[in-house]
Structure 1
Amino acid sequence: MSLEAASLTASTPSMPRLDDLSRADVPFRTGHFLAYAPRDFHRIAYVEWGEPDSPHVVVCVHGLSRQGRDFDPLGYRLAKMGYRVVCPDLPGRGLSGWLKDPELYGLPQYAADMAALIAHLQITGKIDWVGTSLGGLTGMVLAASANTPIRRMVINDIGPFLPWAPIRHIGSRLRDAPRLHHNLASGESRLRTVLASFGPLTDEQWRHIAKHSFFQEPNGGWRPHYDPGIGDAFRPGRVYSVSMWRDWDAITCPVLLLRGAHSDLLLASTADEMTGRGPPTERIEIPDCGHAPALLDDHQLAIVTDWLGPAA
Structure 2
Amino acid sequence: MRRNRLRYLLPQGFFTLAWTEWGPDDGRPVICVHGLTRTGRDFDALAAALAAEGRRVLCPDMPGRGASDWLPDPALYVAPTYNLCLSHLLAWLEGPVDWVGTSLGGICGMLLAATPGHPIRRLVLNDIGAHVPKASIARIGEYLGHAMEFPDLEGLEGHLREAHAPFGALTDAEWRHMAETSARPAAGGRVALHYDPAIVTAFRAVEPADMDLTAVWSQVTAEVLVLHGAESDLLLAETARAMARRPGVRTVEIPGCGHAPALMHADQIGVVAEFLRSGL
Q: TM-score range by the shorter chain?
A: over 0.9
Indicate the percent of aligned positions where both proteins have the same amino acid.
Answer: 46
* C-alpha distance in 1 between matches for 2:38 and 2:76: 18
Determine which of 268, 287, 302 is the counterpart of 2:270: 302
Q: Greater CA deviation, 232-241 or 137-146?
A: 232-241
Whether 2:214 is the aligned partner of 1:241: answer no
* C-alpha distance in 2 between matches for 1:223 and 1:35: 26
- Give the aligned partner of residue 130 of structure 2: 160
Whether 2:243 is the aligned partner of 1:274: answer yes
Per-residue deviation, 1:251: 0.7
Aligned pairs for 1:185-200 (under 5 A) are 185-200=154-169
Per-residue deviation, 1:310: 7.2
* C-alpha distance in 1 between matches for 2:205 and 2:46: 36
Aligned pairs for 1:90-239 (under 5 A) are 90-120=62-92, 123-176=93-146, 178-217=147-186, 219-235=188-204, 238-239=207-208
* C-alpha distance in 1 between matches for 2:188 and 2:75: 30
- Give the aligned partner of residue 85 of structure 1: 57
**Paired AA for residue 185 in structure 1:** E
* C-alpha distance in 2 between matches for 1:139 and 1:193: 28
Q: What per-residue deviation string (whole Å, max 9, x for no partner) do you get for residues 202-227 of structure 1? A: 00000111000111236410010001
**Paired AA for residue 234 in structure 1:** F
Per-residue deviation, 1:228: 1.2
* C-alpha distance in 1 between matches for 2:183 and 2:167: 18
* C-alpha distance in 2 between matches for 1:311 and 1:154: 13
Per-residue deviation, 1:39: 1.2
* C-alpha distance in 1 between matches for 2:275 and 2:153: 36
**Paired AA for residue 270 in structure 2:** A
Report the number of matched residues. 280
* C-alpha distance in 2 between matches for 1:215 and 1:44: 17
Root-mean-square deviation (CA, aligned residues, Å) is 1.4
* C-alpha distance in 2 between matches for 1:258 and 1:34: 32
* C-alpha distance in 2 between matches for 1:37 and 1:232: 20
Structure 2: gaps spanning 5 or more residues: none
Normalising by the residue count of structure 2, what TM-score does the alignment of the two structures yield? 0.96
Q: What per-residue deviation string (whole Å, max 9, x for no partner) do you get for residues 120-179 of structure 1? A: 3xx222100000000000000000000010010111000121111110111121132x12
- Give the aligned partner of residue 18 of structure 2: 45
Whether 2:7 is the aligned partner of 1:34: answer yes
* C-alpha distance in 2 between matches for 1:89 and 1:138: 13
* C-alpha distance in 1 between matches for 2:150 and 2:232: 29
Change (3 A) 1:302 1:237: closer
Secondary structure in structure 1 of the residue aligned to 2:141: helix
> After the TM superposition, which parts of structure 1 deviate over 4 Å for at least 4 consecutive aligned residues?
none
- Give the aligned partner of residue 36 of structure 2: 64
**Paired AA for residue 76 in structure 1:** A
- Give the aligned partner of residue 251 of structure 2: 283
* C-alpha distance in 1 between matches for 2:251 and 2:20: 28
* C-alpha distance in 1 between matches for 2:39 and 2:186: 19
Change (3 A) 1:237 1:141: closer
**Paired AA for residue 214 in structure 2:** W
- Give the aligned partner of residue 48 of structure 2: 76
* C-alpha distance in 2 between matches for 1:115 and 1:72: 22
